[in-house]
Amino acid sequence: MREEIRSVLSGAESIFGVRERVGQWRDAKETIALVPTMGNLHEGHLSLIRLASQHARRVICSIFVNPTQFGGGEDYTSYPRTLQEDKKKLGAQGLVDLLFCPSERDIYPLGAETSVEIKVPGLSSELCGATRPGHFSGVASVVCRFLNITTPDTLLLGEKDYQQLLVLTRMIEDLKFPVTVVSAPILRESDGLAMSSRNRYLEVRQRKLAPRLHVELEQIQKALRKGASDYHLLESEALRSLKKVGFRPEYVEVRRASDLAKPNGKARRNELVVLAAAWLGKARLIDNVRA
């Protein structure tokens, strides 16, 4: 096991430095995995890095709070930035060869508002895309840049952001990036709440209530496994239940896992995923379970 982060690159020379380091690894015939993050690292991120180390000889972790995936009124300026704490966690884990912390100017040299955009039609306008217009274009655009800079063999993504996982997989397939996507299951707190950097927005009372989102998804999951096929009824009951206890749900929906299309009553259970997004105070929580 490596005892520390071997290199941290940031500032004006960071992109050149990453490409130089990657070139050295390529010359040595070493494989490379990328774990892109926005920092404020938790055990979910660290689990992705552990998985990355199993798939490649070299591991790159990036930390970049991407302005183009935040909409108006969202938490870009207040998003938790904890770089020194993140470095300590990565150093203690000892699996990261290169920590890449570019500036906004490094990633968007002509300005974020006038940068080239990558759009993934269809998938990007569903669910979270319907309530956060432009979000997935921002995600796809920044990940496309990171893939171009780091040229990894493997990209590690978490399944908590299930729609994001599908959007980025589609982009990689369509643009013919020579990258394998590896996804990791959702890591949860002991009470079932999906780990997320935004959980720190929850007040004490809200934190106790937050696992209810996962409970409602599990209820739908159980109903589907018993043969229920009235998806609208299941969704409506979950929405009512969440509102009753204090959530402001954006959606609870049963979708086809492969492409997020709305399934018909003949869909097989193993083809389905149940997804939800809901506000609890200042925290926007997302979660999903496979049926």
Specify the 3-state DSSP secondary structure of 106.
Answer: helix
Q: Which of 42, 45, 55, 232 is catalytic?
A: 45
Helices (H), the chain: 14-27, 43-55, 83-93, 104-107, 128-131, 135-150, 162-174, 204-209, 212-225, 231-245
Cα–Cα distance for residue pair 230/239, rounded to 1 Å: 15
The CA-CA-CA angle for residues 41, 14, 7, to 5°, reads 60
Active site residue 45: yes
Q: Give the torsion through C-alpha atoms of 137, 139, 140, 143, to 10 deg.
A: 150
Closest CA to 87 of 15, 153, 4: 4
Annotated active-site positions, please? 45
